[in-house]
Amino acid sequence: MILALLAAGVGLLIAAKPGLAPTPQDTLVVGQLAEPRALDPATVTGANDFRILANVFEGLTRFRRGSLEVGGALAERWEILDGGRTYIFHLRDGVRFHDGTAFDAEAVKFNLERLIDPKHPAAGTGPFPFAFFFSAVKQVEVVDPLTVRLRLDEPYAPLLANLAHPSGYMASPAALTKLGRDFGRAPVGTGPFRFGLWESGRQLRLIANEAYRGGAPKSKALVFRPIVDPNARASEMLAGGLDVMVELAPDSVAAFRDRSRFRIHEAGGPHLWFLILNTREGPLKDARVRRALNLAIDKQAIADHVLQGTATVPAGPISEAFGPASDPEVKAYPHDPEAARRLIREAGAEGATLKLLASEGGSGMLEPIAMATAIQSDLGKVGLKVEIETFEWNAYLARVNGGLKEAAMAEMAWMTTDPHTLASLSLMGSATPDKGGFNAGYYENPEVDRLLDEARAEQDSEARAALYRRIDRIVHDDAPWAFVATWRQSAVTSAAVSGFELQPSFLMDLSGVSKAPAL
């Protein structure tokens, strides 16, 4: 009976024409750029999915509000022993999954071993794209119902941050065992909201977990509506059919300046939009030409005009969002076409033709076609001919992740929650596509590799940050990428909404968000 009433409520919400009636007071309606691929946190990779999952699930750790510092979540506290080779987590007492089963050390063991043990009974619910986050964990031991010990084969400093990432969220072992791959359509976590129903292509509904350990959420339900077209999403927000709209298109900002109706939210975070440069063959094998590209591209003009002020110009590979891990002395390449021409002449690359691979869209990709066109124009002004080849997003990923061969450049964007992730996956010599990594430009610098290995094991936060600062400077100078833009994530809420806040992690906790009744 309850399920039937919930379904009826969703049907009424769908049937309501935009602007004719306000969204229900106790329901927060969120417009997103796409439907989630699945709701099993171990199997998905997109920020679009993560925003939903952060309301259903929790990890042993979490990112503290307003920062990327790690605090306790399902684990109250922990100890790090043996120089970083042993972690002991002390779990919160009395926590239960939405299906009523207990969250305990056995549940932690089940979840982590699902990711790292190919013989685990639930291994078939994968694949798990971020399983490498936990590859250093060699043994998960249940000490007692509220204590679990992780033994690592070597120190791995990013572990606590990775446990706060959605790939480390704790799912109900009972539900996973019962549902198998179907768990992704009916998720069961411990978070402030529980799964309600999912109507493909229309909306997904979450119901408040009244028994949540942190107190019942302020909204009785969340509805996530997939609206792919950014103009249609903006129109729906303007018409009153949405309470929250994420990823505001740059050309829509002006429409939401009326503070009597809307609030625009912006926040920085560790996002980097860059061009992967082919360092193995062709003109970009020469570091002088790679630096010339960084000097030739008018990145500030892209940020100001193409992205209409929604981005800043980055200096290097380590985001400022990571605080002391980013070197403040490393400055963004200035726009200096004359210096670019000089370097190109010195390298004998005048008149070279460069193929640029571009995506038609995708997670974190901003305005990829318009940005590619602007880059093509800027490089043409310094004597380089750029040919753009475009692909649909999934085809694009397959093409680029296989490595740049005949292509000279490819667009890419990453959002990460630890300074190690992007650098280790995309810059290490051992991370080339033929070795299972994302170093599609085949960059290799033994010093960078050595520093990354040291940073991976370093437990002292200040010493670890110092290692990343050195990496930041070396990679800036080697220029295996063109560092183009850092997106300031954005969202719009109706003026009636309170408690909404964007986070540097790009996750979205809506448990404390509510809205005033319509007048």
The pLDDT of residue 253: 86
Which secondary structure element, helix H or strand E, spans residue 342, and what is its range? helix 337-346
In angstroms, what CA-CA distances link 260 with 146, 264, 340?
A: 49, 12, 48
* Residue type at position 425: L
Answer whether 508's CB lies under 8 Å from 489's CB: no
CA atoms within 13 A on the CB side of 170: 25
**Across the strands, what pairs with 263?**
493
**Spatial separation of the C-alpha atoms in residues 264 and 12, rounded to whole Å:** 28
Residue 343's contacts (CB-CB under 8 Å, 6 or more residues apart) are 288, 289, 291, 292, 295
pLDDT string in tens for the chain (519-residue length): 333 333 333 333 333 344 444 678 899 999 998 889 899 999 998 888 999 999 999 999 999 999 999 999 999 999 999 999 999 999 999 999 999 999 999 999 999 999 999 999 999 999 998 898 999 999 999 999 999 999 999 999 999 999 999 999 999 999 999 999 999 999 999 999 999 999 999 999 999 999 999 999 999 999 999 998 888 999 999 999 999 999 888 788 889 999 999 999 999 889 999 999 999 999 999 999 999 999 999 999 999 999 988 899 999 999 999 999 999 999 999 999 999 999 999 999 999 999 999 999 877 888 999 999 999 999 999 999 999 999 998 889 889 999 999 999 999 999 899 999 999 999 999 999 998 889 999 999 999 999 999 999 999 999 999 999 999 999 999 999 999 999 988 899 999 999 999 999 999 999 999 999 866
Q: Which residues of 179-193 are buried (b: 16+ CB within 10 A; e: fewer)?
A: beeebbbebbbbbbb
**Spatial separation of the C-alpha atoms in residues 115 and 125, rounded to whole Å:** 10
Q: Tell me which residue has tokens 């990829």.
A: 368
The pLDDT of residue 229: 87
Q: What angle do CA 470, 363, 188 make, to 5 degrees?
A: 105
**Spatial separation of the C-alpha atoms in residues 14 and 5, rounded to whole Å:** 14
SS3 at position 465: helix
Q: What angle do CA 301, 305, 311 make, to 5 degrees?
A: 80
The pLDDT of residue 306: 94
The pLDDT of residue 9: 36
SS3 at position 114: helix
Which among 405, 402, 422 has a CA at the least distance from the CA of 481? Answer: 422
Q: What angle do CA 290, 296, 302 make, to 5 degrees?
A: 115
In angstroms, what CA-CA distances link 341 with 290, 334, 417, 490?
A: 12, 14, 37, 37
- Parallel, antiparallel or unpaired: strands 70-72 and 61-63: antiparallel
**Across the strands, what pairs with 414?**
272
Q: SS3 letters for 389-435?
A: EEECHHHHHHHHHCCCCCCCEEEEEEECCCHHHHHHHHCCHHHCHHH
DSSP designation for 252: G
Sign for the pseudo-dihedral over CA of 495, 499, 502, 506:
negative
List domains and CATH numbers for the chain. Answer: 2-13+24-226 (3.40.190.10), 271-487 (3.10.105.10)
